[in-house]
Amino acid sequence: MNAPEDKGPIVGIDLGTTNSLVAVFEGGAPRVLETGGASIVPSVVRYEQDPAAPGGVRTIVGDDAKARAVEFPGRTISSAKRLMGRSLNDARADLPYLGYEVVEGEHGQARARVVFEDGSSREVTPQEVSATILRELRGLAESALGRQVGRAVVTVPAYFDDAQRQATRDAGRLAGLDVVRIVNEPTAAALAYGIGTRADATSGETVAVYDLGGGTFDVSVLRLTPSGGEGGTSFFQVLSTAGDTRLGGDDVDHLLVSMFAREIRALMDGEEPRLQVAGATKERGNDLSAFPPSTRRALKVFGESVKCRLSEDDAASVRIEINEGMVYERVVTRDELETMITPWVERTLGACGRAVRDAREHLGSGGVDAVILVGGSTRVPLVRRRVGEFFGVEPYTALDPDRVVALGAAVQGGILSGEATGSLLLDVIPLSLGVETAGGAVAKLIVRNSTAPARATEMFSTGVDGQTSIKINVLQGEREMVEDCRSLGVFELSGIPPMPAGIPQLEVEFLVDANGVLLVSAHERRSGKRAGLQVVPNHGLTRDEVERIERESFTHAREDMTRHRIADLITNSSLDLKWIGERLERFGDRLDAGAREDLVAQIASLRGMIDRARADWRSVEPNALHAAKETLDRASVRLQEISISESLRGDAEG
Ligand code: AMP
């Protein structure tokens, strides 16, 4: 244990059924800890006989244990969380899926029996297995932080009963961790988004947490009860939970794999009966057991990767060489996948319906105020869409759904240790929010100190002819140029039909909701294309940092304004030069020689200034640049008239 004067941070641990993570609250924000680039520790432990180890057995935790689980099924323990604090009887339904032996221990408690190759065995309690994982996480945290870690907040599912919670505490103790608090996973997810961490938290706010992982689905409805006092934290009451312990992303992998297997079988049967897999008959069509285990495993991994690709892209092409000369090739579209998985998504919504009904008397007519997505399977676009439609609010996706629970556990740890008090738990937006515009300038949509919720929209367009995609860089800060602000994220609006510069009508909307989550959406009106991004702007900001940014903006105010003005002048003058240049080429011979020479000289002068300004903005006086642009505009009036009459004539003739 650490000395009392330096108890170290209170880390937050997401002790999951399949994966575990540890996070810490530091410098105003929670972050997931990692060593050597690895942060996710699979919740898998392998036992190995080793005469040199205490008790003659050593453990291997995480990636290695997971990767070789098929090789050592009898002594690799996964999903121990399903056994935590449960009797053998209670756990019976889970046993067929575990792959190792489960026996009855003291007081009827479920235990895993680890069987070694020499026939010897040993019994381990789920608490011991979990302790091994917690010890691994503790070690990871200590090496990431460079200091000792003795205290943790650990999360558990909202439906865990007292025995399951106590077992989790015991696991912590065995791992040398003082579990200062057990927090419900959905509550942690809400804390990660800053819900309930503000002193002014609104009473009765309800939050639905939709958690769809690889093999389990949970939905919870929470209600926030504010502390009522300054500095105190609010608490969450779990109004209802529902779910399915056998529903998750794995089901989607299976659907894809069955489809591949069926089609591969058809191909083999149809084209080359001799290549038929041993023992398979037509009736067993898509039965995977017709394939050898190595092929089945490969197909499973492949199915998952196709699924993940379809979360990003509209289609994924698949090519598997089956045998000499025989190739299975096809394209799977997202639409096709969505049709296939609709019943699966609807099953989760059925549980959401039950949870909402159970919470009904507390919800009143208002419904839920916010929906948080947790778990890797919530990256599936259909899931996001249908959950949003079901609850009637845009779900929160700003944080990584695999990390949000650990991040929230760290926030709770930060609150308990006092570390979180200096962070930005306020209802004002502390720094301005905007987007990058041409020339590296920043257009601010929401100015600092606006109160949340806040909404702003602005119209933009393209600067180049035929541009079919627009990158939107979302920025935070008080300075005028992109390089002096903090980028919160970039997204792309693509699929815009080619149009001349300035014609697309891009509406960008910023919405900061009551919880401080920023939703940016971009909509090109002519094509109807949309794209968006969500972020939590205050993550990673401390009060000190906000003050520094503010001070700097004052110091640089004058030169920043100049620079912004020059950037705008460069953009606008370039468009003018392009337009005038094109018309001069077409209609120049209809101007008097004097006027034409005049125009050519002014074009050269403005172009020269722009080139200099591009190289070094300080080398040009903005008023002079402005004047040169105005002079050129005035000198081109005649050319504009000619051009307009030409185009009118063109219209009349056409
Ligand atoms: P979790 O249990 O929360 O780690 O979630 C794991 C599940 O999320 C697995 O079924 C993964 O295949 C699934 N998953 C992870 N990333 C994606 C993605 N980009 N698209 C679809 N499913 C994903």
Q: Which of 341, 357, 388 is the last residue of a domain?
A: 341
Higher pLDDT, 405 or 464: 405
DSSP string, 92-150: GGGGGGTSSEEEE-GGGBEEEEEE-TTS-EEEE-HHHHHHHHHHHHHHHHHHHHTS---
53 pLDDT band (50/70/90 cuts)? very high
Catalytic residue among 128, 185, 394, 478: 185
Residue 199, pLDDT above cutoff 80:
no
For residue range 268-292, what is the model confidence (pLDDT) as tens digits? 887 544 344 444 444 444 567 778 7
Q: Which of 409, 427, 445 is the last residue of a domain?
A: 427
The reply to whether 44 falls in a domain is: yes
Q: Which of 362, 397, 427 is the last residue of a domain?
A: 427
Which of 306, 308, 310, 345 is the best mutation target for the ligand 1 pocket, counting ligand atoms within 8 Å of the beta carbon and taking the most? Answer: 308
Residue 230, pLDDT above cutoff 70:
no
For residue 374, give the ligand 1 atom closest to its CA: 3
170 carries an active-site annotation: no
One domain, residues 206 and 333? no
Least confident window among 282-286, 309-313, 462-466, 492-496: 282-286
Residue 172, domain CATH: 3.30.420.40
Residue 251, pLDDT above cutoff 90:
yes
One domain, residues 141 and 287? no
The reply to whether 461 falls in a domain is: yes
Rounded average pLDDT over 476-483 = 89
At residue 451's C-alpha, the angle toward residues 446 and 455, to 5°, is: 45
The reply to whether 549 falls in a domain is: no
7 carries an active-site annotation: no
The reply to whether 550 falls in a domain is: no
Ligand 1 pocket, residue 311 CB under 6 Å: yes
Rounded average pLDDT over 216-239 = 78
- Tell me how far apart the alpha carbons of residues 199 and 427 are, in angstroms, rounded to a whole number: 9
One domain, residues 219 and 314? no
* Residue 147 alpha carbon to ligand 1 centre in Å: 33
One domain, residues 43 and 171? yes
Buried b (16+ CB within 10 A) or exposed e, 212-251: bbbbbbbbbbbbbebeeeeeebbebebbbbbbbbebbbbb
Residue 2, pLDDT above cutoff 50:
no
Q: Looking at the 3D structure of the chain, how many domains does it have? A: 4
One domain, residues 312 and 389? no
The reply to whether 613 falls in a domain is: yes
Which SS3 state, helix, strand or coil, does residue 640 take? helix
Q: What percent of the chain has pLDDT over 70?
A: 92
One domain, residues 300 and 403? no
One domain, residues 217 and 266? no
Rounded average pLDDT over 332-346 = 98
The reply to whether 491 falls in a domain is: yes
Rounded average pLDDT over 182-186 = 95
One domain, residues 498 and 613? no
Per-residue pLDDT, 233 = 56
For residue range 297-320, what is the model confidence (pLDDT) as tens digits? 788 889 999 999 999 999 999 888
Which SS3 state, helix, strand or coil, does residue 199 take? coil
The reply to whether 302 falls in a domain is: yes
Least confident window among 201-210, 568-577, 597-606, 632-641: 201-210
Mean of all residue pLDDT scores within the chain: 88
Which SS3 state, helix, strand or coil, does residue 633 take? helix
One domain, residues 253 and 370? no
81 carries an active-site annotation: yes
One domain, residues 177 and 187? yes
Residue 502, domain CATH: 2.60.34.10
Protein residue with its CA nearest to atom 9 in ligand 1? 214
One domain, residues 385 and 415? yes
Residue 114, pLDDT above cutoff 90:
yes
**Structural domain boundaries, residue 334:** 249-341
Residue 5, pLDDT above cutoff 80:
no
- Label residue 525 exposed, middle or buried (CB < 10 Å: 0-12, 13-18, 19+): exposed
One domain, residues 330 and 362? no
Of 629, 636, 555, the closest CA to residue 600 belongs to 636
Residue 572, domain CATH: 1.20.1270.10
Per-residue pLDDT, 463 = 80
Higher pLDDT, 589 or 354: 354
Residue 278, domain CATH: 3.90.640.10
Higher pLDDT, 287 or 58: 58
Per-residue pLDDT, 209 = 97
Per-residue pLDDT, 654 = 44
The reply to whether 5 falls in a domain is: no
